[in-house]
Structure 1
Amino acid sequence: MQQPDLSDAHWRKSSLSGSGPSCVEMAFVGNDVAVRDTKNRDGGTLIFHRNEWTTFINGIKSGHYDNLT
């Protein structure tokens, strides 16, 4: 997968994260979603297709990942 251009990405994090440094940020970039660590923004970015991201978020909302060990 080719890395999308992130130079104009509008990064955001959950309002539930507060002001702490231990969270991730995400940005919608075309048909992709970019995710990075706020503690190391230059350390790399994960790229997901929007369909993958939607499946992941729906899994979180439905509790699919609540009991993983």
Structure 2
Amino acid sequence: MAVRREPGNWRKSSRSVNTSTCVEVGSTGGGAAVRDTKDRAAGYFTATGTQWSAFIGAVKADRFHG
């Protein structure tokens, strides 16, 4: 049985200092967790290290358009 580790070291992007619409990212040991800063009690979702790396790569490659 795997032991679930609670995310730690939550941090917000330095680019979202002057806005209230942002998310925080926390470390899970082998990946990342993401939560809404306005509703932290709602929980978070997690991604494996591989999934997180793929997501960050896609963001940096500008593959998401609003």
TM-score (norm. length: structure 1): 0.80
Match of 2:4 in 1: 4
Q: Which has the higher strand share?
A: 2
Match of 1:43 in 2: 42
Do 1:33 and 1:53's aligned partners in 2 also have CA atoms closer than 8 Å? Answer: yes
Give how far 1:45 is off. 0.6
Q: Which has the higher helix share?
A: 2
Do 1:12 and 1:27's aligned partners in 2 also have CA atoms closer than 8 Å? Answer: yes
Give how far 1:50 is off. 1.1
Do 1:3 and 1:47's aligned partners in 2 also have CA atoms closer than 8 Å? Answer: no
Q: Which runs of 5+ in 2 are unaligned?
A: none
- Distance in 2 between residues matched to 1:46 and 1:3, nearest whole Å: 17
Amino acid in the other structure paired with 1:54: S
Between the two proteins, the alignment pairs up a number of residues equal to 65
TM-score (norm. length: structure 2): 0.83
- Distance in 2 between residues matched to 1:3 and 1:15, nearest whole Å: 32
Give how far 1:63 is off. 1.3
